[in-house]
Structure 1
């Protein structure tokens, strides 16, 4: 983080078990613990929507996809949807949520 701007320093208290886990992951990423924590914060601070954090990767049944109204029910919330290959919805198949853009989810048959 050495750059022309002054870095902000603050004290962060972690329990030993959490520090040990972070140190292990930092070592795997070939980073210091400080840089690893900074990278985690940078990746996750305000850049990802609820859908990107909570919905991507979930699976839904084709039966939860309503072709009449163009909505899919995921985690109790209705979203508009697209099928990644533009195929018709198979109500007996499972679909993975592979992308979220606003209130539109992209589904892929699995």
Structure 2
């Protein structure tokens, strides 16, 4: 119970469509919506790199992911990439950039 004393509660208003998207992503991550949002905030708090400021959350078209050379084009820059579930690239799908580690981006199909 001591950990609960260090937690801060606050009201956050989201439109239904955003909440539904977060709920789906939380379900895929096997987390509650609250824990998923805390993990997103924790992962992105205080990050100072260009990628974390400008690239995280960007949407990438499958046609911009080049499986043959392992590169993805995001905001005019080529990066190496990983797909979060190790699936093959679906050229017709859209992907979200969910993590940046140096010049390697982690993508999640949306």
Taking structure 2 as the reference length, the TM-score comes to 0.58
Per the alignment, residue 5 of structure 2 pairs with none
Which ranges of 4 or more aligned residues in structure 1 deviate by more than 3 Å? none
Residue 4 of structure 1: aligned partner: none
> Which residue in 2 is equivalent to 1:107?
107
Partner of 2:56: 56
The Cα shift of 1:48 comes to: 1.8
Task: Tell me the equivalent position of 2:83.
Answer: 83
Aligned to 2:73: 73
| Structure 2 counterpart SS, 1:99 | strand
State the SS of the aligned residue for 1:52: helix
Structure 1 position 97, deviation (Å): 0.1
- 1:69 is displaced (CA, Å) by 0.3
- Secondary structure (helix, strand or coil) at the match of 2:107 reads strand
**What count of residue pairs does the alignment treat as equivalent?**
68
Q: Which runs of 5+ in 1 are unaligned?
A: 1-27, 30-42
Q: Separation in 1 of the partners of 2:85 and 2:48? A: 25
